[in-house]
Amino acid sequence: MKKLIELLGGKFLFLITYVGDISILSFLSLKKIFKIRIKEDILKYINEIGAESMSLVGIIALFTGMVLVMETAHTLKKFGAEMYSGSLVSISMIRELGPVLIALIVAGRIGASIAAEIGVMKITEQIDALSVMGVDPIAYLISPRIVAGLVSLPALFILSFFISIFGGFLVGVFTVGISSGVFLYQSFKYIGIKDFLIGLFKVVVFSIIIINISSYHGINASGGAEGVGKASTYAVVSSFFFIILANLIITGLFYFV
Mapped to the 3 state alphabet, what secondary structure does the chain carry?
A: CHHHHHHHHHHHHHHHHHHHHHHHHHHHHHHHHHHCCCHHHHHHHHHHHCHHHHHHHHHHHHHHHHHHHHHHHHHHHHHCCHHHHHHHHHHHHHHHHHHHHHHHHHHHHHHHHHHHHHHHHHHCCHHHHHHHCCCCHHHHHHHHHHHHHHHHHHHHHHHHHHHHHHHHHHHHHHHHCCCHHHHHHHHHHCCCHHHHHHHHHHHHHHHHHHHHHHHHHHHCCCCHHHHHHHHHHHHHHHHHHHHHHHHHHHHHHHHCC
Return the percentage of the chain with pLDDT > 90, whole number. 33
What's the pTM value of the predicted model, to 2 decimals?
A: 0.90
pLDDT at 241: 93
The pLDDT value given to residue 162: 93
Residue pLDDT tens, the chain, 257 long: 777 787 778 778 888 888 888 988 888 888 888 777 666 678 888 988 988 889 999 999 999 999 988 888 777 777 777 788 888 888 888 988 889 999 999 999 899 899 999 998 888 888 888 888 878 888 888 888 999 999 999 999 999 999 999 998 998 888 888 888 888 888 888 888 888 999 999 999 999 999 999 999 999 888 777 888 888 899 999 999 999 999 999 999 988 86
Report pLDDT for 40: 67
pLDDT of 37 reads 66
pLDDT at 73 (0 to 100): 79
Per-residue pLDDT tens over the stretch 94-111: 988 889 999 999 999 899
